[in-house]
């Protein structure tokens, strides 16, 4: 019985830590004017830039090869194999219509979904202390 409680505490701690680090990560990455708040506008702008970096041949779609190349370049995994594996999985999530290409719309939409998930109080801003957390 004690064990179960311990596990639950541990588990909820992990979830909470993940949420916070998700926000810290987003603010670090996407806050462009340095006010420690990421607005939806800032977020989408950086998504657009990121899309352009990944679209190597500039045809407004990210082909699977392009994605995997960029992904393995930027991945911190120790082996290229596992980076490619994770890349495949991430690609699958992004490619909603399964045509092995990520369109700008698919990319933006998945990014927006992420934004909405983190933006708990729904004010189109990611800040460290979302009002809904309190």
Binding site residues, Ca ion, CB under 5 A: 31, 33, 35, 37, 55, 57, 59, 61, 95, 97, 99, 101
- List the beta strands (DSSP E) in the chain: 37-39, 61-63, 101-103, 125-127
Q: What are phi and psi of 102, to 5 degrees?
A: -110, 115
What is the smallest separation between the CB atom of 26 and Ca ion, expressed in angstroms? 11
Q: Residue 22 or 77: which CB sits closer to Ca ion?
A: 22
Distance CA 127, CA 121 (A): 10
Q: Residue 79 or 124: which CB sits closer to Ca ion?
A: 124
Q: Residue 16 or 113: which CB sits closer to Ca ion?
A: 113
How many Å is the maximal CA-CA distance in the chain? 58
What is the smallest separation between the CB atom of 11 and Ca ion, expressed in angstroms? 32
């Amino acid at each position: 019985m004690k064990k179960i409680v311990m596990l639950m505490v541990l588990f909820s701690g992990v979830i909470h830590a993940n949420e916070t680090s998700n926000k810290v990560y987003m603010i670090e990455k996407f806050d462009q004017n340095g006010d420690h708040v990421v607005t939806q506008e800032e977020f989408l702008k950086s998504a657009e830039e990121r899309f352009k970096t990944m679209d190597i041949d500039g045809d407004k779609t990210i082909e699977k090869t392009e994605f995997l190349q960029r992904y393995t370049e930027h991945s911190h995994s120790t082996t290229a194999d596992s980076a490619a594996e994770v890349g495949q999985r991430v690609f699958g999530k992004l490619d909603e219509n399964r045509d092995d290409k990520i369109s700008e719309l698919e990319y933006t939409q998945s990014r927006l979904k992420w934004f909405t998930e983190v933006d708990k109080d729904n004010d189109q801003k990611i800040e460290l202390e979302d009002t809904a957390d309190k």
